[in-house]
Amino acid sequence: MIWGVNGHPFTAYPDIAYEKQLDLVRELGMTQYRVAARSDGLNRLRPLAQQRGITLLPIIHAESGWENRGTDALYNESFNKARTISRAHRGQFPVWECGNELENYAIIQPCEYRDDNSQYPCEWGPGGGVDPLDYVGERWEKVSAVVRGLVDGVGEGDPDAKRAIGTSGFGHIGAFERWRDDGVEWDITVWHDYEQISEDFLQTLSGYGKPIWITECNAGAWNAVSEEDNARQLADRIAYYREVGGRYGLDAVFIYELLDEPYWSGPESKMGLYHVEGSNAAGWRVGTPKPAALAVQNKLVS
């Protein structure tokens, strides 16, 4: 099984050198680093990663502002973006992840109408995403156009690379059925796991005949749990993946994320495996490894 970690070397982690980030990836016992697909950053980061035996997993993010554009425009924009960046790096990365949690845009909301013209109950919260009807067709067409554009663009720009697509997890398994019915082609099925994915979901995902990659996971870090509890839960999660992975083609797992981001508010500030110390005025530096980092090291290195 491939083990990796998420990071934000191009958009966050101020003052912390790429070399330091990659050294921490290796310290954790991991061999892949999932990052945003930015050409200038990839050009600088890739040779440093190669020196350390680390493979980058670039994510091609979709552009924003879908509300004012039709499906043809969204497809062409996504296709051109993916083709341009993948062609510029042809042969450099074995896998491109095409989009990130895009299905959320189409999740049905209270009182909206399903594609079969039945009304989603007004007293319920947002749809669970398990059923294909949990996505509103008008918005889903845009999601599908963007994902199809990204996948097709990589297929032309870097035809030997694998193309990965997926969802934010949380039960959003119906999106894959819709992508399949829309004729979207992909090579790796992506899931994000902040709850511990059930074997039922893994069985459904494996039915698409593609390797499964969990490109984001953590355990308890979204909630107000102690660092020790987060470490225990994450160690248990790693053991679970190892136990069930072989049965369902689970080939890769990426923990979210490498470093804390204390300069932001909200969960991102404390989801890292390493503390970050300092201030905007004095600069930022990597602090001590959290119990979660030590737990991951113990599982992956020992």
pLDDT values of the chain reduced to their tens digit, one per residue, 302 residues:
999 999 999 999 999 999 999 999 999 999 999 999 999 999 999 999 999 999 999 999 999 999 889 999 999 999 999 999 999 999 999 999 999 999 999 999 999 999 999 999 999 999 999 999 999 999 999 999 999 999 999 999 999 999 999 999 999 999 999 999 999 999 999 999 999 999 999 999 999 999 999 999 999 766 678 999 999 999 999 999 999 999 999 999 999 999 999 999 888 899 999 999 999 999 999 999 999 999 999 999 86
0.75 surpassed by pTM: yes
pLDDT of residue 264: 92
Q: What does the alpha-carbon distance between residue 66 and residue 140 come to, in Å, rounded to a whole number?
A: 11
pLDDT of residue 302: 64
Contacts of 266 (CB under 8 A, 6+ apart): none
Q: Among residues 287, 175, 281, 252, which one has the least CA distance to residue 6?
A: 252
For 61: left if phi > 0, alpha if psi spans -120 to 50, otherwise beta; the answer is beta
Structural tokens at position 52: 């350390």
pLDDT of residue 32: 98
Q: Which domains does the chain have, with CATH numbers?
A: 2-300 (3.20.20.80)
Strand segments, DSSP code E, in the chain are: 2-6, 32-36, 55-60, 95-98, 162-166, 188-193, 212-217, 250-255, 274-279, 283-289
Q: How many CB atoms lie within 10 A of CB 105?
A: 16
pLDDT of residue 221: 64
The answer to whether 261 and 276 have CB atoms below 8 angstroms apart is yes
Q: What angle do CA 239, 224, 234 make, to 5 degrees?
A: 10
